[in-house]
Amino acid sequence: MTWQPASVYCRLPVGATGKFVADAPGGRGSIRDSLVHAFDTQIVHAAWLDGSMTYTESCARNFPPQDYPDVASVRMLCELAA
More confident residue, 33 or 11: 33
Q: What is the pLDDT of residue 12?
A: 59
Q: What is the pLDDT of residue 9?
A: 52
The tens digit of pLDDT for each residue in 23-71 reads 776 666 888 888 888 888 888 888 889 999 898 888 888 888 888 888 8
Q: What is the pLDDT of residue 51?
A: 92
Rounded to the nearest angstrom, the gap between the alpha carbon of residue 30 and the centroid of all alpha carbons in its chain is 12
**Does 5 score more than 60 pLDDT?**
no
**Does 2 score more than 50 pLDDT?**
no
- Pure H helices in the chain: 5-8, 17-21, 31-49, 55-60, 71-81
